[in-house]
Amino acid sequence: MNKLHRNSVAQPSSISIVAHRGKTATIKSENTIEAFKKAIEIGIPQIEFDLRMSQDGYIVSYHDRTIVRDTPTQDEIEIADLKYHELQSIAKSQGFEVPLFEDILKLCRDRVALDIEIKEEGYEDRIVELATQYLDYSNFVIKSFNDDSVRKIKDLDPQVVVGLLLGKVRGKFPLLSILAQFFPEYRIFKTGADFVAPHFRLLKFGFLWRMKLLNRSVYVWTVNEERRLSKLLRTKDIAAIITDKPELAMKILDSLHQQRLGDGVAPLMSRDYIQ
| Per-residue pLDDT, 144 | 98
Q: Report which DSSP code applies to 214.
A: T
| Per-residue pLDDT, 70 | 78
| Per-residue pLDDT, 113 | 97
Percent with pLDDT over 90 in the chain: 78
Q: Is the dihedral of CA 249, 254, 257, 259 positive or negative?
A: negative
Of 128, 149, 160, the closest CA to residue 59 belongs to 128
Q: How confident is the model at residue 14 (pLDDT cuts 50, 70, 90)?
A: confident
* pLDDT digit string, tens, across residues 152-187: 999 999 999 999 999 998 777 788 899 999 999 999
CB 194 within 8 A of CB 140: no
| Per-residue pLDDT, 36 | 98
* pLDDT digit string, tens, across residues 20-62: 999 999 987 899 999 999 999 999 999 999 999 999 999 999 9
- Checking if the pLDDT of 272 tops 90, the result is no
